[in-house]
Structures are given as structure tokens and as C-alpha cells.
């Protein structure tokens, strides 16, 4: 069974065009050699015309050598069997048969190639044995060399077939691994979406339940027909509670939906129970992996909104994961700079850095998305002194819906 041909690309000719070029090149070599040999040997025009017809047939058959390897080898062998006893010029038409025999073995027709080689050797040997003493054109040494030549052609073709089969198997394994990786990425993204859906359900369920209870209590009070002042106070209190609850619910919902990723990106699925409070645990786990983690804090720490706190934790966690898996680094410096309106994270290592021609991975893109969703920014790239640097700025204020003022932490 022939192996599938690779599609042409990168300016390379198609398989059929390549076969046509090979057939034309062989025809050119045989024709030039035959013309040069014809200067020293003459023959009748009819025999010369028949010889040239055999040359054209044998070389032209090479165009079909990949699609019909056995038939091509048979045609070239028959052309040689008729051409050499007939023609006085003895051109190198044997090149066409040699190429056809090699292609037969390379296309997986090993038994047919062996049979054709054996038939060729036996036919030449039988023809020489029938010659009168002193009239032989091929001696025993030449017959032995011919046998070695035919065996070499079949063996090289077989080796090429084995190599092509190995490369095809490697390519199929790589494709299977790529498909498996894509399936795992889709599964990871689906699990992340499921986790976010559960968070949305919890936020909305809790908030709507509170709103329902608060509004029900207000209606119950108003149903008793209290004094106008007392009824207005009860209604105002209930509306304020509903407003505060719905505002918090919308803010948490925006923070949750802001980190949604595309369906084809792998994402972490286990949220941290807290944020930067677990930075020491992250550093200890990284140290257990062989990294020398150094942390530095400047400024006065401030309480962060949960989305900002979780995003900061995720950025440090993803950075340490990338360093442990890809950077081949020994030292990692984690810096927290508490500014007047934002916290800045800088994670730098002394590893090999990232290749300049390779795009950033989905983990870094996900960190940048988290930062942008919270009104911040994140940059990642090779450091000036080597290694890799992740620089993120997260504001203390969580972005709000239009018409609402940002929620800021007081320092």
C-alpha cells in the first residue's frame, strides 16, 4: 500500500510534476548519450527509428512510476530487452529500468522488485551463455557486478520505504498528540466555564434571595397600614437594602464574567480560597520545586476587593508555574509595590527567557485578560538582564457599571 503523498507547498512541485521532470531528465541524458554514441556507430534508419521509439517509451513510462510502479518497471525492462539486441548505439536506457526498479521497492512492492531483478539477471545470464565463445559482451565479473547493482537498487528502495513509513508514523503520532492536547484544552475550558457558571449561580441566587426577603418584609410592613412617616421610613430602608444588595451582585457578576476566556484556551479550574494572603504558601511550594523565591514589599499594604485580590494571586501563581515548567531558572524575585491607588506586581526570574519568534502562551494572555477586566494592565517579556519579567498593575477600585462610582478602598 503506497504511503500518502504530502501536499505540495512552499514552492515545491507537485508529485506529478516531479515525475514529469524526472522522466524528462532521464530522457535528456539517454538522448544525449545515444547521439554521442551514434557518431561512432551507424545503423539503418528503420532500426534507428525503432531504437528511438523504445527510448521514448522507456523514459516516458517513468511518468507513471509512482502510480503504477510494477507496470512501469515491466515496460522499461521490456524496452531494454528489445533495445539492446536491436540497436547498435547502446545508449544508457538501463537508467530508466534502474529508476523504475528502485521506485517499485520504495513504493512497497518489494516482492515484485525482487522478482524483476531476478528475471533481469537470469535473462542477461542466459543470453550471454548462449553466445559463442569469444563473442560474449558481458563477462562473469560484469554479471556479478550487475547482480550487486540490482540488489543495491532493491535494498535502497526498501530502506527508503521503511524510512517513509517511519516518518509517516511519527507524523500521525504528532497529529494524535495535538488532537489530544486540543481535546484537553477544550475540556479544561468547559470545566472553567462550569465553575464560573456555578459562581454566577451562587452570586445571583444569594443576592436575589436577599432582595426577595427585603422587599417582602417591606410589603408586610406597609400592609399593616402604618403612619405615613413610619411607612415612608420602612420603604426607604428596604429600598436602600435592595439597592446595596443589587449593586454588590452586579459588581461580583461583572468581575466573574470579566475573566471568561475563549473556548479553545486552557484555564486553571481550582480557585484559590483567598488572594495575596496565600503568597507565602505559593512561595513555599515554588521553593519545594527547587526555586529560590525572594519576596519584597514596598509601601503600606491595603485591603483589596476580592476580585483584585484573587487576580493578583492568580498572576503570581501562573507566573511561578510558567517559571517552574519552562524557564529553567534558579532565582525568582516577587515584588509588591503598594501605591496610592494600585498595587504593582513584578515577577522576574533568571532563566532562559522566551524565544523572540514564539507568541505568548494562553496562560500569559489569561493573566492580561484578568488585569484588563479589573481596569489594570499587564506586560510580559524577556527582561533587560535576561530571564523573563511579568509586570502587572491592579487598581484598588473595581470597575463599576455606567452611572455608578468606582468602589475604592480607604487607606
Q: What angle do CA 180, 186, 192 make, to 5 degrees?
A: 135
Residue reference for cell 513555599: 284
Q: What is the pLDDT of residue 394?
A: 94
With b for 16 or more beta-carbon neighbours within 10 A and e for fewer, the 333-370 pattern comes to bbebebeeebbbbbbbbbbebbeeeeeeebbbbbbbbb
d(CA 122, CA 17) in angstroms, rounded, equals 35
Pairing outcome for strands 342-349 and 331-338: antiparallel
The terminus-to-terminus CA distance of the chain in angstroms comes to 76
What is the mean pLDDT, run by run of 10 residues, along the chain of 411 residues?
A: 49 78 87 78 79 87 87 88 79 86 86 86 75 63 80 86 87 89 83 68 58 67 74 74 69 65 45 69 72 90 87 84 79 93 93 79 79 90 88 84 47 42
Q: What is the pLDDT of residue 379?
A: 92
Q: What is the pLDDT of residue 204?
A: 67
Q: What is the pLDDT of residue 229?
A: 76
Sign of CA dihedral 349, 350, 352, 357: positive
* 339 closest CA partner among 314, 382, 304: 304
Q: What is the pLDDT of residue 403?
A: 44
Residue reference for cell 519545594: 288
Sign of CA dihedral 278, 282, 283, 284: positive
Q: What is the pLDDT of residue 389?
A: 92
d(CA 327, CA 304) in angstroms, rounded, equals 30
244, three cell numbers: 446595596
Provide the whole-model pTM: 0.42
Amino acid at each position: 500500500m503506497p504511503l500518502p503523498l504530502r501536499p505540495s507547498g512552499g514552492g515545491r512541485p507537485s508529485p506529478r510534476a516531479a515525475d514529469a521532470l524526472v522522466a524528462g531528465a532521464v530522457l535528456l541524458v539517454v538522448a544525449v548519450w545515444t547521439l554521442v554514441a551514434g557518431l561512432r556507430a551507424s545503423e539503418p534508419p528503420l532500426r534507428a527509428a525503432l531504437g528511438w521509439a523504445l527510448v521514448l517509451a522507456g523514459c516516458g513510462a517513468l511518468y507513471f512510476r509512482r502510480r503504477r510502479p510494477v507496470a512501469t518497471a515491466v515496460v522499461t525492462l521490456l524496452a531494454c530487452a528489445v533495445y539492446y539486441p536491436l540497436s547498435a548505439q547502446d545508449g544508457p536506457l538501463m537508467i530508466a529500468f534502474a529508476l523504475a526498479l528502485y521506485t517499485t521497492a520504495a513504493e512497497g512492492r518489494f516482492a515484485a522488485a525482487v522478482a524483476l531483478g531476478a528475471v533481469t539477471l537470469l535473462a542477461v545470464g542466459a543470453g550471454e551463455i548462449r553466445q559463442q565463445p569469444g563473442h560474449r559482451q558481458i563477462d562473469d565479473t560484469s554479471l556479478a557486478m550487475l547482480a550487486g547493482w540490482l540488489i543495491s537498487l532493491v535494498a535502497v528502495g526498501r530502506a527508503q520505504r521503511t524510512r517513509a513509513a517511519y516518518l509517516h508514523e511519527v507524523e500521525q503520532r504528532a497529529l494524535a498528540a495535538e488532537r489530544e492536547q486540543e481535546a484537553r484544552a477544550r475540556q479544561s475550558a468547559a470545566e472553567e466555564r462550569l465553575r464560573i457558571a456555578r459562581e454566577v449561580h451562587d452570586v445571583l441566587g444569594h443576592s436575589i434571595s436577599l432582595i426577595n426577603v427585603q422587599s417582602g418584609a417591606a410589603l408586610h410592613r406597609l400592609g399593616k397600614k402604618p403612619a405615613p412617616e413610619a411607612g415612608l421610613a420602612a420603604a426607604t430602608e428596604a429600598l436602600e437594602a435592595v439597592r446595596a444588595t443589587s449593586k454588590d451582585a452586579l459588581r461580583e457578576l461583572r468581575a466573574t464574567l470579566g475573566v471568561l476566556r475563549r473556548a479553545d484556551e486552557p484555564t486553571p479550574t481550582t480557585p484559590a480560597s483567598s488572594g495575596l494572603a496565600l503568597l507565602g504558601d505559593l512561595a513555599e511550594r515554588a521553593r519545594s520545586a527547587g526555586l529560590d523565591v525572594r519576596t519584597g514589599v514596598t509601601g503600606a499594604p491595603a485591603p483589596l476587593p476580592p476580585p483584585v485580590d484573587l487576580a493578583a494571586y492568580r498572576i503570581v501563581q501562573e507566573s511561578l508555574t510558567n517559571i517552574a515548567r519552562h524557564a529553567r531558572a534558579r532565582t525568582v524575585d516577587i515584588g509588591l509595590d503598594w501605591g496610592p491607588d494600585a498595587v504593582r506586581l513584578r515577577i522576574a526570574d533568571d532563566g532562559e527567557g522566551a524565544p523572540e519568534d514564539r507568541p505568548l502562551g494562553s496562560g500569559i494572555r489569561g493573566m492580561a485578560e484578568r488585569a484588563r477586566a479589573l481596569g489594570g494592565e499587564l506586560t510580559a517579556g524577556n527582561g533587560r538582564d535576561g530571564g523573563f519579567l511579568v509586570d502587572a498593575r491592579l487598581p484598588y477600585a473595581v470597575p463599576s457599571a455606567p452611572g455608578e462610582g468606582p468602589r475604592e478602598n480607604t487607606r
